Amino acid sequence: VKKLTDGYGAHSVVEAVGLQESMMQAIHSARSGGYVGFVGVSHGVSIPGSDLFAKEVHLMGGPAPVRLFLPDLIRLIWEHKIDPGKVFDLTLPLGKAAEGYKAMDERKAIKVLLRP
């Protein structure tokens, strides 16, 4: 990012993975005075105050409003206009939904696709 921006960094960065490495990459990719937005729940993320202080980065975040977008996304999937396979890394039958949530909680899967 720094190379692409002549050493400045990005004005705004989105962190959507929720891990220590991705949060620090987002902070270090932002320019001084830039913005880092994070969505969803972070897992074990600890941000050294010196990293925020030295960079003068604005850090903002909160939950992702999934239910707002879900009906349209489901329709697009059913109409084969988008391929959810590019997002999901584990597919399970609907009856194994609990196993899917466990796999995500244990970080064995990022996103689980439940099929009938």
How confident is the model over 63-112, as pLDDT tens digits? 878 889 889 989 998 999 988 777 789 999 999 999 999 998 888 998 89
The whole-model pTM stands at: 0.62
pLDDT at 103: 94
pLDDT at 63: 82
Per-residue pLDDT tens over the stretch 3-56 = 999 999 999 999 988 889 999 999 999 999 999 999 878 888 998 888 778 888
Q: pLDDT value at position 58?
A: 93
Residue 17, pLDDT score: 85
So what's the pLDDT on residue 9? Answer: 95
Architecture in CATH for domain 10-62: 3-Layer(aba) Sandwich (3.40)
Long-range contact pairs involving 56-60 (C-beta distance under 8 Å, separation at least 24): 56/32, 57/27, 57/30, 57/32, 57/33, 58/33, 58/34, 59/27, 60/35, 60/36
Domain residue extents for the chain: 10-62, 66-115
Give the per-residue pLDDT at 53: 82
